[in-house]
Structures are given as C-alpha cells and as structure tokens.
A and B are shown apart, each in its own frame.
Chain A
Amino acid sequence: MTTLKQFHWFWAWDDDKEEAWLRKMAQKGWHFKLVKLPGYYSFEQGEPRNDFYRLDFFIDSKAKADYVQLFLDAGWEYLGEMGSWQYFRKTALENETLEIYSDNESKSKKYQRILFFLVVFLPIYINSINILNKRQDTLSLILTFVMFAFMLLYGYSIIRLGMRVNQLKKKL
C-alpha cells in the first residue's frame, strides 16, 4: 500500500485549517493513518472519500475512555492523539457538514481549555527567567534570551486564542 509522509504545522487557534487540510487530502485519496509530534503525518492511498476531520483538545487522561466512547457512539472514528489534540473522522453524505461541536458556545470552550492550559504554566516560565536573570555566565544569558523569545510566542498565543474565543462568542 502506498503511503505518504508529510510534515504539517498548525497553530491552536487555526486548528480548523488543519481539519480542512486533512479533509482535502482525503478528497484526493490520501487518508490519515498516523500523526506524531510535532506534526508528522502518515497517509495511506485509497479511493477519494467525503470525510470530515475534527480536532479536539482534551487533557483529562482519567476520563479519556468515556470521552472517546461518546464519539464512537456518535459514529466518529477515533484516530489517535498528538499531545493533547484528539483526532476524529467521519464520512459524510453529500452536502452534509459534520461537527463535533454543534454550537459556537461549546466550541469556544475548547479554546478556553487551551488558554487555561497555557496560563497554568505561565508562572513556571516567569520564574525560570527570573532565576536565569540573576546569573551572569554566557549560558544563562543565552537561555534567558531563548526563554524570552519563548515568552513572546507564549503571549502571542494567549492573545490569539482569546481572540478566537471572542469571535465564537460574539455571534448575535
């Protein structure tokens, strides 16, 4: 069987673009097989299919089996996870759009969970920058710079996710 390996990166606030990309691949006959951090995909060649891919963010490992079961009952195939990203797939009828979040209110909570996940670790980063700042050697200086760059990206992510939440909540 022909397989295709491809690297594809996505930002948490743009995960719907990743879903659209996976759908497009399936329409061309490349079907998701596997994903590994930080975005290495394997595809299997087959007949083109009208599949919807949906990504969810889920961190509660104890409740994972119950969570997945609900999706299976609803006819979704569970494809696996990359970090805390859960991959689901379902074949649609013509002109049908399949969603795992049926309203924007609940969909916005997905991004709120990611935000929460980021904010929880914020004090750890700030602390390590503070500790590194007090030292004078070259290595600490380089590490401080790396951490600082990381913090900027971190702050940007928080802003973008916040915007995504607002965008979903605003509709009438």
Chain B
Amino acid sequence: MPHKIEKYLPLTESTAYTLLALSEPLHGYGVMQKVEAMSQGTVKIGPGTLYGAFTTLESEGLIVKVGESDRRKTYALTDKGKAVIKEHIRRAVIMVENGTMTQGW
C-alpha cells in the first residue's frame, strides 16, 4: 500500500461524505449542498464541522486547495484521499452485505 491509510479509518459519516463530494473540486458551501443531496437528506454538515474537517483533511494531505475566490477556498481529493475513501467504501460495502438480513426484520 503506497499510503498508510489505516490510521484514518473508520471515517465519520460527515468526513466520508465530504471526501466523496470532493471527487470534483468544490468550495465549502458546495460540499454542504452536495452532501445533503447525495445522502438524500440523511447527512447535513454544519459549517463548524466542515471547517474543522477541511483543516484536518488538508493538513493530513487527503485534500488539497485548488483555487480560491471571494474568501472561498476550493478543494479536491489527493491520491491519498482517494485511497482512504476507497478503502472506507470497500469496508462499508462488506457491512452493507452483512446487513441485508435486516430488511426481513
């Protein structure tokens, strides 16, 4: 494995969705809107949470600033960020497969 990604897992729901949203470059409010839409309203990220997530994800090298205008920074996933969200999703899929039984409850 080129990156040590174990230490970042498991991601919180907000962080996982933030990374998924950044598959295309977006600024903060863009991430909030996209996450709410993608998650069908189940996940709404507050600005305090998102600001903290951006700071941490950037310092850990999972996302990178790709632009800035009118005090709004645009971020995108790095290769390391892609590897982390990919592994998180791989594990989530296993869990979903295990969880199909709950549909019969």
Show the binding face of A for B, using Cβ within 8 Å. Answer: 54, 56, 65-67, 69-71, 73-74, 76, 99-103, 105-107, 109-110
Q: How long is the Cα–Cα vector from A73 to B47 in the complex, in angstroms?
A: 9
B40 contacts partner chain A, Cβ-Cβ < 8 Å: no
Q: Are B48 and A101 in contact (CB under 8 A)?
A: yes
Q: Are B71 and A103 in contact (CB under 8 A)?
A: no
Q: Within the complex, what minimum Cβ distance (angstroms) separates A19 from chain B?
A: 12
Which residue on chain A has the smallest CB distance to residue B71? A69
- Given A102-B14, A103-B14, A74 and B32 contact (CB-CB distance below 8 Å): yes
B28 contacts partner chain A, Cβ-Cβ < 8 Å: yes
Show the binding face of B for A, using Cβ within 8 Å. Answer: 12-14, 28-29, 32, 43-53, 70-73
7 closest residue pairs by CB, A with B? A73-B29, A100-B48, A106-B49, A102-B46, A69-B71, A74-B47, A70-B28
Q: Are B71 and A106 in contact (CB under 8 A)?
A: no
Question: What number of A-B contacts does a CB cutoff of 8 Å give?
Answer: 61
Q: How long is the Cα–Cα vector from A71 to B13 in the complex, in angstroms?
A: 20
Q: Are B28 and A110 in contact (CB under 8 A)?
A: no
Q: List 21 A-B contacts (CB under 8 A).
A: A54-B48, A66-B71, A69-B71, A70-B28, A70-B72, A71-B48, A73-B28, A73-B32, A74-B29, A99-B46, A100-B47, A100-B49, A101-B46, A102-B14, A102-B43, A103-B12, A103-B13, A106-B52, A106-B53, A107-B49, A109-B52
Q: A100-B46, A103-B14 are in contact. List 17 more A-B contacts (CB 8 A).
A: A67-B51, A69-B71, A70-B47, A70-B50, A71-B47, A71-B48, A73-B32, A74-B29, A74-B46, A76-B47, A99-B46, A100-B48, A100-B49, A102-B14, A103-B12, A106-B48, A106-B53
Which residue on chain A has the smallest CB distance to residue B49? A106
Q: How long is the Cα–Cα vector from A70 to B73 in the complex, in angstroms?
A: 10
Chain A residues, Cβ within 8 Å of B32? 73-74
Chain B residues, Cβ within 8 Å of A107? 48-49
Q: Are A70 and B29 in contact (CB under 8 A)?
A: yes
Chain A residues, Cβ within 8 Å of B73? 66
- Given A66-B71, A70-B51, A71-B47, A106 and B28 contact (CB-CB distance below 8 Å): no
CB < 8 Å: which of B28, B49, B72 contacts A102?
A: B49
Q: Within the complex, what minimum Cβ distance (angstroms) separates A100 from chain B?
A: 4
Q: How long is the Cα–Cα vector from A19 to B72 in the complex, in angstroms?
A: 27
Q: How long is the Cα–Cα vector from A95 to B64 in the complex, in angstroms?
A: 38
Q: Within the complex, what minimum Cβ distance (angstroms) separates B13 from chain A?
A: 7
